[in-house]
Amino acid sequence: MQRLKLPIGIQTFREIREEPYYYVDKTDFAWRLIDSGKYYFLSRPRRFGKSLFLDTLAELFEGNEPLFRGLFIHAQWDWDRRAPVIRLSFGGGVMRSPEDLGEKIQDLLATNQEQLGVRCTRPTPRGCFAELIRLAHAQSGERVVVLVDEYDKPILDNLGRPEVAHEIRDGLRDLYSVIKDSDAHIRFAFLTGVSKFSKVSLFSGLNNLNDITVSPEHSAICGYTEADLDEVFASELAGLDREQIRHWYNGYNWTGESVYNPFDVLLLFDKRQFRPWWFETATPTFLVELLTERQAWLPALGQWETDAALLARFDVGQIATEALLFQTGYLTIDREELVGGAYFYRLRYPNQEVYQSLNGALLDAWTPTQTATAAQRRSLYQCLLANDFAEVEVLFKALFASIPTDWYRNNPIARYEGYYASVFYASLAALGLDLTPEESSNAGRLDLTLRFNGQIYLIEFKVVELAPEGRALQQIKDRGYAEKYRASGQPVYLIGVEFSREQRTLVAFDVERLV
């Protein structure tokens, strides 16, 4: 197959179709949405193709037929019928005040007036938006299409300043309420963003939206499927390990077909290296700060259970940790279960990239010497390969000893017992190692299981008052945690790790090999 150009960072449908770029056909999703409904909302993580999908919708409604030749929708669409399209995108720039938001809205409305050849007289953003919809309908004789991209970004930019975020949210709510009030003039409306703010807080005036975020039939509306890689990108796969691609970048799921992160895949094909391309584009500072403030127990992050209602409750000052991690793409849905009339979700890390990178970012935030922890990670990996447990103990003792007393006193995460085990866990997870927290057996729950280099490590944590007591290792033996692994045929090591509450460091690292 002929190799085409990779559409890295390109969100313009026309450019992709007119140039020799690869394109994954999503027009079947567009056709089903348009054919079956009118008002839609979709939440997806950043850099997942939301803007490209909206631009595709715009070109479709504007009737630009040559761009769709060879695509699914070409034979289904009435190309003689064209609709006026109003586009509002809040993706560019940072709005730090309600005044910034007002100026942005006025600029967007002015641009749409110019493109549609109409002129509004109403002075307020709400009034101008409503007038724009009516005038576009009257002039063209066709009802209007409204496309809103990054609808929530002005709020997300200000989550660290709740008072400003509340004012901006109220301004956006006033604007979006126009869409429902203009129903007679609208043919189709589609809103996208990263987060899903509750209908009460932001969409109280637009409560007729069909939210397709968690929908089996729309799970792959953004992102690349397995078939897409095999069919569209077949020419790029040579020399790359297909299973490794899957392990690193696949796994995002919204109760349907799992998808790859498209940004990662394109960068992989371009650079030919497995790296956290998506994660590196934006450090999740607010997320790291929130997890720190809430003293998150890191080993549990990748196996949380929650209900559908909790994932939908997202508002300024009322953000559930699970909802934030899910909506921003750091956790995804592992499975869905209907229990007593309510849906429950088991969440997990989507793939190697997110698992390894997020834990690395948290480790850097929770230890004050990032250069030291980076060097420690490399040495730790080499010591585990060699089963040099004495040196592993030395490395962890040095890590905790490097943390100044003042940092312990001033940092909220360091003042609770789970901090020590979380840092220990993050040190291993940041290496991308296969960890299973709280693995169940008939004997109870073991704190941590590590599978690495053809071996199994069973790890139990304890916080003691001052001196090592040997209770962690003894608990593994007393409760028979190792029994289920005897038939594995792999070497099994029992590791008891004890931290001193008084000394604020690791004081015991006891290791026994299962005979």
Rounded CA gap, 506 and 401, in Å? 9
Read off the pTM: 0.92
Q: Are 41 and 11 in contact, with CB atoms under 8 Å apart?
A: no
Mean pLDDT of the chain: 91
Percentage of the chain exceeding pLDDT 90: 69
Instruction: Render pLDDT for 324-377 as a digit per residue (tens, 0 to 9).
Output: 899 899 999 999 998 888 889 999 999 999 999 999 999 888 887 665 667 788
Six token digits for residue 272: 């030919």
Using CB atoms within 10 Å of the CB of residue 71, give its burial: 0 to 12 exposed, 13 to 18 middle, 19+ buried.
buried
pLDDT at 511: 96
Cα 393 to chain centroid distance, Å, stands at 34
Q: Is the pLDDT of residue 85 over 60?
A: yes
Identity of residue 131 = E
**Higher pLDDT pick, 489 / 312:** 489
Instruction: Give residue 442's pLDDT band: very low, low, confident or very high (50, 70, 90).
Output: low
Rounded CA gap, 112 and 39, in Å? 20
Q: Which CATH architecture has domain 25-218?
A: 3-Layer(aba) Sandwich (3.40)
pLDDT at 453: 94
Paired strand residues for 344? 307, 337
Class of domain 367-513: alpha beta
Q: Are 42 and 213 in contact, with CB atoms under 8 Å apart?
A: yes
Q: What are phi and psi of 436, to 5 degrees?
A: -125, 105
pLDDT at 407: 65
Q: Is the pLDDT of residue 200 over 60?
A: no
Helices 242-249 and 262-271: crossing angle in degrees, nearest 10, is 140
Look at residues 25, 38, 18, 30 and name the one whose alpha carbon lies nearest to residue 54. Answer: 30
Rounded CA gap, 295 and 283, in Å? 19
Average pLDDT of the segment spanning 89-111: 95
Q: Give the three-class secondary structure for 286.
A: helix
Average pLDDT of the segment spanning 221-229: 98
Instruction: Render pLDDT for 280-332 as a digit per residue (tens, 0 to 9).
Output: 987 778 888 888 888 888 888 888 888 887 777 777 878 888 888 998 999 99
CB atoms within 10 A of CB 347: 21
All structural domains of the chain with their residue ranges: 25-218, 285-348, 367-513
**Higher pLDDT pick, 468 / 10:** 10
Q: Is the pLDDT of residue 409 over 80?
A: no
pLDDT at 238: 95
pLDDT at 205: 61
Helices 370-385 and 389-401: crossing angle in degrees, nearest 10, is 170
Instruction: Render pLDDT for 139-166 as a digit per residue (tens, 0 to 9).
Output: 999 999 999 999 999 998 898 899 999 9
Q: What are phi and psi of 273, to 5 degrees?
A: -135, 145
